[in-house]
Chain A
Amino acid sequence: MAAVTTSTERSLNKLAIVGVLIVTVIFLAPIYWIASTAFKPRNLATTIPPTVMFQPEISPFVKLFTKRSQLRTAPTPEQYAAAPWWERLVFDGGEKVVRSGRGEVQWSGYPSRFMNSLIVAITSTVLAVGMGTFTAYGFSRFKVKGEADLLFFILSTRMLPPVVVAIPMFLMYRVVGLNDTHWGLIILYTAFNLSFSVWLMKGFMDEIPKEYEEAALVDGYTRMEAFFKIVLPEAATGIAATAVFCFITAWNEYAFALIMTNRRAQTAPPFIPSQVGSGLPDWTVIAAGTFLFLLPVAIFTFLLRNHLLRGMSFGAIRK
């Protein structure tokens, strides 16, 4: 459709672009701040005014991944010369890498916390989206007795701040032995995301004409086959959008992770700030940890961006 644009419309357009740019800068500034701090030498991280131009360093990441202790005495030149390049970076910061009796480098807590985050977020996302998709399909396609009430009940699980139930959950988890386990967090996050996933997927399922499945049913397929071969591919956009939202929620969750886990199953969000606690805070290490932590969500969202854009405009998937 050819639209006739007037000069006022054109200047309004320009104004809108300027507005979008300003908003973008506001949103990206903290991310730039974290990313730049992650590559700064420690002494430049907290300068006032802030340092903008600097020689980027990898040392914050080395420190992030290794277990370190304060140096009482400076390393001898022989020690310094024998150390690999990354260990010298730690020496330069006035610390040394902790090694086991057999000389193996000790990892910091970060890699395992990061893995925990991945395990918990991915599993709970798969569960929440999977169950949500099935549930939504059921609500969308079949006459369910008390459908409106059930859907409201599902939504009502989100009607209070989750952290309100943190203490009872903690006590119950202690009884059943789910404290500090992956499954404990996975179950919690799946439960948080499920209502959201059901409601979002219901909207997408309603958009898929039922003629598609009916055609498949008449063509000799069972309902299950029709669901997997026809409905799922058609719902891909909705599934992607729902998955991104669920993943972000699970990935970023802080309060429950802090309360329910401490070591084995602890995720990255409560771990990263805990590094502040010992000695003088090394903001570059915290920034490096945060920077790496941002990447999975950024990559996931980037990969699914086409689906997301369509998925955001609910109700307008196809014409």
Chain B
Amino acid sequence: MTQIELRGVQKYFGAVQVIKDLNLKIDDNEFIVLLGQSGCGKTTTLRAIAGLETIDGGDILIDGKPVQHLKAADRDIAMVFQSFSLYPHMSVYENIAFPLRATRKSKAEIDSEVRSVAKTLQVTDLIDKKPSALSGGDMQRVAIGRALVRRPKAMLMDEPIGALDAKLREEMRAEIKRLHIKQGSTTIYVTHDQIEAMSLADRIVIMHEGVLQQVGSPDEVYSRPANLFVAQFVGSPVMNVADAAVADKATSASVTVGGAATGFEFPHALLSKLNGHAGGKLALGIRPEGVIVRREAAEGFLPVETQIVEPLGSFDIVDLKVGSKMLRARTKSGFVSGPGEKVFVRIDPAQAHFFDTASGKSLEVRL
């Protein structure tokens, strides 16, 4: 049973504030992913929890007890680093046994625990090798083994598979997930890779410039982004965002983007849901799958011309010029033959997001 809580955590590097008033509560057995671009403060947050960085304000609580004044060694937490995580002068066995040697365990106990962890991670055959003889994937397997062997209160992982090649990363991702389900421990995982975050996390914590942007399940951050940053950071291809003007058309609402002659048709309810923001500066956000493309003209569809077609195997991404703005749509592969084709486009109101341009905050409009 381990809960970790951050209360108003602040951290400065010189004059630069790298963590700004971070509040976060992590439940027992939860798999939390800190997601953000490099330099957003996610690794610093992780290192602060581990005790490798001091904090300049706030509290870090493990199971309700403040630990910010404890040394790393006294926090009973394990950490897996992106690289340089194994000691080159020790064998795999010694590497895994190393954390246990800090405790008062007997030789026999240590041996049985090392072997059982090695078995769990399928590195038994490598146990006598030196790290330099291992592949990147096996190195990180052993590193995870070393973190697991002590049965710590919580596991911290700092881009543990970031240095591996794409194929191996996918394998290890599945393995980490399997391991978490099997062993179950509170885990905080740092990555800049949203696919990793989506596939592993119970909850994703998105950070930007030291500020927490949104905490939520992978589905929440994808389908209900709290602000423009999250909207454009999560999801690939990236969400379309365009300044929009909303007009009242008696029975419906019209949303114009890029100064186009005609607007997209939205239900009239949009106006009331925008709650007075309709006149202000608005941005429309729509994921490429929310841009619906037809070849024949139909009610509510705007005629547009295709610009660029990117075939991505299972689907195509088509750039469409709407007014002065480019909207990217996701279509079946081969749906559009090439640039310069006339097609008809509509925006699915159910998938549309509206943001206040000034604050960047989502207006939480659900249609």
Contact = CB atoms under 8 A, between A and B. Distances in A.
A234 interface: yes
Contacts, number: 60
Interface string B73-110: 10111110101110111000000001100110000000
Nearest to A221: B102
B73 A215 contact: no
Interface stretch (A76-84, A206-214, A242-250): A206-214
Interface in B50-77: 50-52, 71-73, 75-77
A215 B85 contact: yes
B98 A214 contact: no
Contacts of B150: 219-220
Chain B interface size, under 10 / 10 to 19 / 20 to 34 / 35 or more: 20 to 34
B146 interface: yes
Interface string A276-290: 000000000000000
Nearest to A219: B99
A161 to B, nearest CB: 40
Given A220-B73, A234-B88, A214 B81 contact: yes
Contact of A214 (B76, B79, B88, B99): B79
A219 B156 CA distance: 12
B89 A218 contact: no
A216 B97 CA distance: 12
Given A211-B84, A211-B85, A230-B87, A218 B103 contact: no
Chain A interface size, under 10 / 10 to 19 / 20 to 34 / 35 or more: 10 to 19
Main secondary structure of the interface of A (DSSP, over half): helix
Interface string A205-242: 00001011011111111100100001001101000000
A222 B73 contact: yes
A121 B103 CA distance: 40
Interface in A36-65: none
B98 A216 contact: yes
B89 A234 contact: yes
Contacts of A219: 73, 78, 98-99, 102, 146, 150
Contacts of A212: 84, 87
A318 B72 CA distance: 27
A218 B99 CA distance: 9
A211 B51 contact: no
Given A211-B81, A211-B83, A218 B52 contact: yes
B84 A209 contact: yes
A141 to B, nearest CB: 12
A217 B51 CA distance: 9
A218 B87 contact: no
A14 to B, nearest CB: 34
Contacts of B73: 217-222
A217 B81 contact: no
A150 to B, nearest CB: 20
Interface in A60-94: none
Contacts of A216: 98
A218 B78 contact: yes
B102 A220 contact: yes
Given A218-B52, A219-B98, A236-B89, 6 more contacts: A211-B84, A218-B51, A218-B73, A219-B73, A221-B73, A234-B88
Interface of A: 209, 211-212, 214-222, 225, 230, 233-234, 236, 318
9 contacts: A209-B84, A212-B84, A215-B146, A218-B51, A218-B156, A220-B73, A220-B76, A225-B102, A234-B87
Nearest 6 Cβ contacts at the A-B interface: A220-B102, A219-B99, A209-B84, A211-B84, A217-B72, A218-B79
